Amino acid sequence: MTIEKINDLYQDIILEHNQTPFNFYKMKKATNYFKGFNPFCGDQIEIFCNIKKHTIKEISFWSQGCAISKASASIMTSLLQNCTIPEALDMFSLFYQYLTINKKVKLTYKMRELVIFQRIRHFPIRIKCASLPWHTMKSALEKKSI
């Protein structure tokens, strides 16, 4: 039972993203940047965005976080490439609701990969790990320039 519950949390896709994350680099000429911090575990994540005409042309991250936060950041950055800022903020609020509020919240087709974080509800203390990259991205979009 224990091992099943753990495997639910640490699914293969999460572990693969953790080992070889997408968009895992420090962007040199970012227009927007923010450093997020989880005081509970000390994790830090940096989000770099290149925004032109309200569209995210490029987004990357750099962190020393846990498997959950790294996988969440990896998927988030691959989803948000070429998204407009309002689209990105909508995705943020939907994913946050999906993690925290309502079991009935359904992810859009575009966001289907994030379904791997469904089981995180059983580990309340880890919700912040999955949401940290998204909160940091939101702060970065709110014009926190380098």
CA distance 13 to 81: 20
For residue 46, state whether it binds another protein (rule: CB under 8 A). Answer: no
Helix (H) or strand (E) holding 68: helix 67-80
Helix (H) or strand (E) holding 132: helix 127-141
DSSP secondary structure letter of residue 105? -
For residue 20, state whether it binds another protein (rule: CB under 8 A). Answer: no
* Total site size for another protein, rule CB under 8 A: 23
58/61 with CB nearer another protein: 61
Range 117-136, binding another protein (CB under 8 A): 123, 125-126, 129
- Return the closest-CA partner of residue 127 out of 91, 94, 95: 95
**Per-residue x/- track, 48-87, another protein (CB under 8 A):** ----------------xxxxx-------------------
CA distance 121 to 99: 7
For residue 15, state whether it binds another protein (rule: CB under 8 A). Answer: yes
* Binding region for another protein (CB under 8 A): 2-3, 5-7, 9-10, 15, 19, 40-44, 64-68, 123, 125-126, 129
